[in-house]
Amino acid sequence: MSDEESPSSDAIPHEAIQTQYEWSAIEPSTAVVETVAQVAHCDQQELSPLYECIDPDALDAIIAPPLAQNTDTTVSISFTYTGYSVTVHSTGAVHVAPS
């Protein structure tokens, strides 16, 4: 992806958003891309591939493992993706804010 395709700094909002997902219905890696695209007001294909900043399979395995619903343990992972600070929680929350 070239720099021209990255969301411009003008497109990056000054407010954070949080979305809530059910990990049984969507993978965390997909939810991250959807949420960042929503905040950036762009199509998901316009964003850099998620694997350039984090391993999507590892993110999915850590945040929403098959047995996660049977535990009281919560996990969160934070990283920067295409100019946004992203935090994904095992509770289903995805928090996105400009970095």
pLDDT digits (tens, 9 = 90+) for 50-99: 999 999 999 999 998 765 556 678 899 999 999 999 999 999 999 999 98
The answer to whether the beta carbons of residues 36 and 50 sit under 8 Å apart is no
pTM, two decimal places: 0.81
Q: Residue 1 corresponds to which tokens in the numbers above? A: 């992806």
Using only the alpha carbons of the chain, give its radius of gyration.
Answer: 13
Q: Which amino acid is at 60?
A: D
Residue that the structure tokens 């070239």 belong to: 2
Instruction: Indicate the range of 11-15, 28-32, 36-40, 54-58 predicted with least confidence.
Output: 11-15
